[in-house]
Amino acid sequence: MASSLAERRAGRLFVSPTVLTLLVLGAFPLLFILAAAFTDSSLGKPFKEFTGADNLATVLGNADVVASLSRTVGYAVGTTAASVVLGVVVATAVHQAVRSGAVVRTLLLLPLIVPPVVVGTLFKLIFNPAGGLLATVLGFVGIPAPAPLSDPGLALGAVMVADIWEWTPLVFILVFAALLGQDPSITEAARMDGAHGWKLFAAVTLPAIAGTIAAAAFIRLVLALKVFDLVYIMTAGGPGQSTTTTSYLIHQVALKEFDIGRASAITLLLAVVVTLVTLPAAGLAARLRRKEEATA
Amino acid sequence: MKTLELDRGAPPATVAVTGGAGGPGTSPDAPGAPRRRRGRPAWAVTVVVLALAATLVPLAYLLSVSLMGRDETVSGILFTTSPRFSNWADVVVGTDLPRSIANSVVAALGGAALSLAFGLPGAWAIVRYRSGGRGLAGLVTSPWLLPPIVAVVPLFTLLRILGLNDTLLGLTLVYALLNVPIAVWLLEGFVRKLPPDVFEAAALDGAGPWRTLGLVVVPLMVPALVAVGTITAILNYNEFLLATFITQSPESQTAPVALSLFYGDRTPHFGKIAAASVMVIVPVFAVATFLQRWMVDGLTSGVGK
């Protein structure tokens, strides 16, 4: 599309707020973090003195930091896998079982709009060993009340349950829209050829929506890597360090210890890890999307 | 996914894949089509029922606990026989909660309006004039990819320099910027679906870029602006991490921050915490009930483009 000079000039002006945003939210924080990571910095007085790689060496040698990074990645991969499987299954089921799905869809989407702080509160109530929903229901069948949020082996899983409850509806609605957008004549043709049930789904439906599933999985992964609110409300990182994700650890170091230099060094590591995890996922999603378009 | 006119209430000719909510009958469901006669598979009905239960039981439980007295919340009952609506009154009257909810609404709506005002010209220029080239188009979403904790301390410092720390205005501006990438990304999907001949006609009539944007693009994009505005407003309303850093005083606190402070007591009253949670959800649920069709449209547009 050839743009005139006037259009190019107006276009530059139109994108300037977007560019400004990228500078303030992207470039500025990264440069700030980079500068703070290599200096002795506190919240009140950043960049006091250049300290080289001291901060990075300290945090890389800290077992808690390294453990929090692998915990964050494990958490994100686990919640993403669960959300994607559940989201696809529910979307397919709603597509098969309900004619228009308007009411069902409205109800299934409710968790998406509940503030994460409320989601955390809600699951804290559910998991409360003294009279919570889980303990009460298990009590009916005679199983002793578990205390998921104060058991180091269960706490992270309990936070994941809340996260999965909150964000699976996003996967559901994206996949459901893709299912509705399918060309019905292709499915009909496959059915005429004798394909039905699981075979029809695996051979015709799944390839047609694979790109959407990959994109939804990517978005879900990014959201899971950001987890902070649920940890803050449900466990405050405990018991011990068992639910201390890296975002929560940075919050602790920055606001409880006021050590911005060390917090920035951890932030830098988190940014690197998030990039390493999301880039291959983004590439895979883009490849599947292109394939989906080629077959469509 | 090519056709995404989900429930937009568009004229029937374009509603190819309508999923319900008052839309006209979709072609696969037309009477006599083979699909109808196959009935509803039992597994699918079971999954739908389970999914509805998993979604709704926790919300119903929250409502139930919000009506319990302090002793009842730890006594192992699922609902109380003597509901205490006084819990609801207690968390609203004489507390910071109503003001914090009002603060949240202001920051959410103000931030969303600014995000749209910043994002729409950008989305249009990126699609129509290729402004910024592939570089800008690819970089737009990059700030969204990193966890927000990365930006917290730098933004905190920036607001302090500007004298906007611990103010609702500062938080609103942060929310406005925070959602520009999402707004541009989602709006791009809608801009691509605008009929190109409209712009050619406008250009033939001698309309420059500004007039085309104001008089052609904006009116055509109203449904998209409602969709993306609703999504960004809800994201703002629910945001916690930045709000807890930026707003400390009761005057500027948002609802999620105020709610997080309910745990401050040594022996928290779960009934009142649940009641406060219910109060915080009410505005989002009210908005979402009215605007859900548009929200779904906005969500699916970004991924489907």
Residue A169: closest C-alpha in chain B: B55
Mean of pLDDT over chain A: 86
| Inter-chain touch B40–A97, beta carbons under 8 Å | yes
Residue A216: closest C-alpha in chain B: B303
Across the range B162-176, mean pLDDT stands at: 91
φ, ψ dihedrals at A141, nearest 5°: -100, 10
Residue A231: closest C-alpha in chain B: B241
What pLDDT does B217 receive? 86
pLDDT tens per residue across span B191-204: 888 888 888 888 78
Nearest to A17 among B18, B118, B241 (CB): B118
Residues in chain A closer than 8 A to B129 (CB atoms): 1, 3, 7-8, 10-11, 14
| Inter-chain touch A122–B61, beta carbons under 8 Å | yes
The ipTM is 0.86
Residues in chain A closer than 8 A to B154 (CB atoms): 28-29, 32-33
Per DSSP (E only), the strands in chain A are 39-40, 49-50
Share above pLDDT 90 across residues of chain A, in percent, rounded to a whole number: 27
What pLDDT does B59 receive? 94
- For residue B10, pLDDT over 70 is answered with no
Mean of pLDDT over chain B: 80
Determine contact, residues A22/B142, Cβ cutoff 8 Å: yes
Q: How confident is the model at residue B130 (pLDDT cuts 50, 70, 90)?
A: confident
Residue A140: closest C-alpha in chain B: B76
| Inter-chain touch A181–B273, beta carbons under 8 Å | no
Nearest to A28 among B154, B245, B263 (CB): B154
Alpha helices in B129-263 (DSSP H): 133-139, 142-145, 149-162, 168-178, 180-192, 196-204, 209-211, 218-220, 222-238, 241-246, 255-260
The highest-confidence range among A147-156, A158-167, B195-204, by mean pLDDT, is: A158-167
| Inter-chain touch A133–B57, beta carbons under 8 Å | yes
Buried/exposed code over A102-112 (b: 16+ C-beta within 10 A; e: otherwise): bebbbebbbbb
